[in-house]
Structure 1
Amino acid sequence: MDGIKYAVFTDKSFRLLGKNQYTFHVESGSTKTEIKPWIEGFFGVKVKAMNSHRLTAKSRRIGSIVGHPIHRRMIITLQPGYSIPPLRKKRT
């Protein structure tokens, strides 16, 4: 679970759920071969395809230091018949 940060919930990611595709933010150095076995093992699904792209870097300033955090987003397509249960936040 070191490579995956969190699931992404945007308008596009909700549209992709209809195509059995799920979107996750991952560490910038993670590769498809590292993420695929983790997804299959943790969720108990079979991955058909994985697409990844780097998001545009927005500059962040902390004091006099300016940095550009780099994120990578992966779109994971599952084989037919498999799905990941919805990730819900527990209400208190």
Structure 2
Amino acid sequence: MADLKYYDVIQKPIVTEKSMASMEEKKYTFAVHPDATKSQVKEAVEKLFDGTKVSKVNTMNCDGKTRRRGRTQGKTAKYKKAIVQLTEDSKDIEIFEGL
């Protein structure tokens, strides 16, 4: 297992219609490091964003899509996605405000 620091775990937020709709339930979606565990994701969110308290984390490995360009065929990069559920009394994450 990789020795990951908390600032290496979360790579970027994922902004889609579905992820924006789930923000009402205090669920936030992030692209995370492929070797990150649920406990590492929880620790990273609580340290990076002040006042947040994570209640649960769901992770999923997403395979790359097959793409064609003429005759040649290839795949896009695979990635890991985490959906973070915050507790009711925790603050919202500032990155997603105003979107």
User: Normalised by the size of structure 1, how large is the TM-score?
Assistant: 0.79
The aligned length equals: 85
Instruction: Give TM-score scaled by structure 2 length.
Output: 0.74
Partner amino acid for 1:76? Answer: V
Percent identity over the alignment is: 27
In 2, Cα distance between equivalents of 1:50 and 1:27:
14
Q: Distance in 2 between matches of 1:10 and 1:51?
A: 17
CA contact (8 A) 1:28 1:72 kept: yes
Partner of 1:57 in structure 2? 64
Query: Structure 1: where are the runs of 5+ without partners?
Result: 61-65
1:70 Cα deviation from its structure 2 partner: 2.0
Structure 2: which 5+ runs fail to align? 1-6, 68-73
The secondary structure found in structure 2 opposite 1:23 is: strand
The residue correspondences of 1:1-92 to structure 2 (distance < 5 A) are 1-44=7-50, 45-59=52-66, 69-82=77-90, 83-87=92-96
RMSD of the alignment, in Å?
2.1
- Report Cα offsets for 1:42-80 as digits up to 9, x if no partner: 1121100100111122257xxxxx666220110000000
* 8 Å CA contact retained: 2:34, 2:80: yes
Q: Which is richer in helix?
A: 2
Alpha-carbon distance, 1:85 to partner: 1.5
Letter of the 1:46 partner, please give it: K
Distance of 1:16 and 1:87 partners within structure 2: 12
